[in-house]
Amino acid sequence: MTQSKYLGLCLLGECIIRLIDSGKKENVEAIQKKALDKELVSYLTKKYKFDFPSESYDIGFFEDFFCENLLESSKSGVFNNGLLTIICTILDKAESTTPAWES
């Protein structure tokens, strides 16, 4: 998978952070199921209608990414908000997918 497929992942994370900041919450198990069914991003963008230009990014890649990588709540330490589990997953994978962190 090319690095460019990850473009937009952090923007998606920022949109989810704004949802959390406004008090939104999702059941952890429901978020895990949506990820496994490869419909997490589609579900979130339809339900919350946040400002994320889905047509500009490879949503299929994002669905695959979360299906393969969504951290289990016990691993992330998040037990009461599935939206935070998504953020934890993005942060967990950021270092391994970001080339050459500068010191």
pLDDT digits (tens, 9 = 90+) for 81-100: 999 999 999 988 876 766 65
> Model's pTM, two decimal places?
0.86
pLDDT over 50 (residue 1):
no
CB atoms within 10 A of CB 16: 22
pLDDT digits (tens, 9 = 90+) for 4-32: 788 899 999 999 999 999 999 999 999 99
Q: What is the pLDDT of residue 16?
A: 97
Band (33; pLDDT cuts 50, 70, 90)? very high
CA distances from 33 to 25, 48, 60, 72, 102 (A): 15, 18, 16, 11, 36
CB atoms within 10 A of CB 93: 16
Residue 98 sits at φ, ψ, to 5 deg, of: -100, 115
Classify domain 3-94 by CATH architecture: Up-down Bundle (1.20)
